[in-house]
Amino acid sequence: MNRRPVAVAIGVAFVAFVIGWLMFVSTPRWFSRQQKPVAAAPAPAPPAPPGRKIKARLFYVSDDGTRLTGVEREIAYGEGPLEQAREIISAQIAPVTEPLVTAIPPGTTLRALFMTEGGDAYVDLSRNVTSAHTGGTLDEILTVYTIVNALTANLPAITSVQLLVEGKEVDTLSGHVDLRRPLSKNLAWVQ
C-alpha cells in the first residue's frame, strides 16, 4: 500500500520535469534556432513580399508606340529618397508582360544609383540598355524618359537624372539623345 503513492509521486515528478524541460530549455532553443537566421538576413531581394508597399507611377510604351503611358503600381517601400529611388528603378526596369510593353531593353539591370544634394540622380545601368536597344530615335527617347520620369515624377527630391552605362558617362544610348548632362522631367512624352 505504501509503495503506490511513492510510484505515483515519482511518475508525477518525471512528467513535471519533462514538461518543465520542454518549456524552459528545449523549446526556446528550438525557436531561437529557427528565428535567428531569418532575423539576421539583410533582405537583398528588392520586392520583399510581406514588406511595406507604396504606390508609384511607372511608365510603359503607349499602344501606338509614340508616347509613354503612366501606370500606378505597388512597389517596395524604401527608407529615404535614395532607397526609394532604387526601388522605383528596380520595379521600372523589371520585365513586364502584355499588355504592358516596356521601353527598357531586355536584360537591363541597375548597377548603382546615387544622388547629389542638388537633386541630380545618377542611374547606372548595365550594358544591355545600349546593346539590346532597337536603335530607333523614338525608342531611345522613350527609354531615356522612362527612367527620367520614373524618378522625377515620383520623388520630388529628384529634379533631374543622368544615365550612366557600366559606370561611365555616355554621349547617347544609340546615337541620338544627348546624355552628357542630366535631363529634367518631361511629361510631354507621356500620354
Partner 1 sequence: MNARPLPLFATALPLVILVGLVASLSSQTPAGPSLTVLAREGRRALPIAMVADQEFVALDDLAAAFQLTVHEESLGAITVTYKGKTIVLTPEQALASVAGRLVSLPAPPSRSGRRWLVPVEFISRALTLVYDARLDLRKPSRLLVVGDLRVPRILVRYDSTGAGGRLTIDATPRANSTVTQEGERILVKFDAEALDAPSPLLPPQTLQAAAPFVRDIRVVDNTTIAIDPGPRFGGFRAAVQPADATARLVIDLVGTQTEAAPAPPVPAAPQPPPEVPPALTPPASAIRTIAVDPGHGGEDDGVRGAQGTKEKDLVLAVARRVKGVIEGRLGIRVLLTRDDDRNIPLDDRTALANNNKADLFISLHANASVRRSTAGAIIFLAAFDDSDSEAAKPAPGERVPTFGGGLRDIELVPWNLAQTRHLTQSVEFATILEQQLRNRVPLSVHPIDRAPLRVLESANMPAVLLEMGFLSNAEQEKQLTVDVFQAGVAQSIYEAVVRFRDSLNAGGGR
Rule CB under 8 A: choose which of 25, 137, 169, 187 binds partner 1. Answer: 137
Site for partner 1 contains 191 (CB under 8 A): no
| CA dist., res. 181 & res. 72, Å (int) | 28
Q: Is 54 helix (H, G, I), strand (E, B) or coil?
A: strand
Site for partner 1 contains 172 (CB under 8 A): yes
Rule CB under 8 A: choose which of 103, 110, 115, 161 binds partner 1. Answer: 103
Site for partner 1 contains 171 (CB under 8 A): yes
- Closer to partner 1 by Cβ: residue 47 or 106: 106
Rule CB under 8 A: choose which of 54, 82, 96, 138 binds partner 1. Answer: 138
Rule CB under 8 A: choose which of 75, 141, 155, 161 binds partner 1. Answer: 141
Rule CB under 8 A: choose which of 11, 51, 167, 175 binds partner 1. Answer: 175
| CA dist., res. 123 & res. 93, Å (int) | 12
| CA dist., res. 149 & res. 141, Å (int) | 12
- Closer to partner 1 by Cβ: residue 141 or 151: 141
| CA dist., res. 116 & res. 114, Å (int) | 7
Helix crossing, 137-154 with 80-93: angle to 10°? 150
| CA dist., res. 107 & res. 92, Å (int) | 13
**Greatest pairwise CA separation for the chain in angstroms:** 103
> Mask 40-79, x = binds partner 1 (CB under 8 A)?
---------------------x-xxxxx------------
Q: C-beta of 48: minimal distance to partner 1 in Å? A: 30
Cβ atoms of 174 and 141 closer than 8 Å: no
Peptide bond into 50 cis (omega under 30): no
Cβ atoms of 103 and 96 closer than 8 Å: no
Q: C-beta of 60: minimal distance to partner 1 in Å? A: 10
Residue type, 191: Q
- Closer to partner 1 by Cβ: residue 86 or 185: 185
Binding site for partner 1 (CB under 8 A): 61, 63-67, 101-103, 134-139, 141, 171-172, 175-178, 180, 183-184, 186, 188
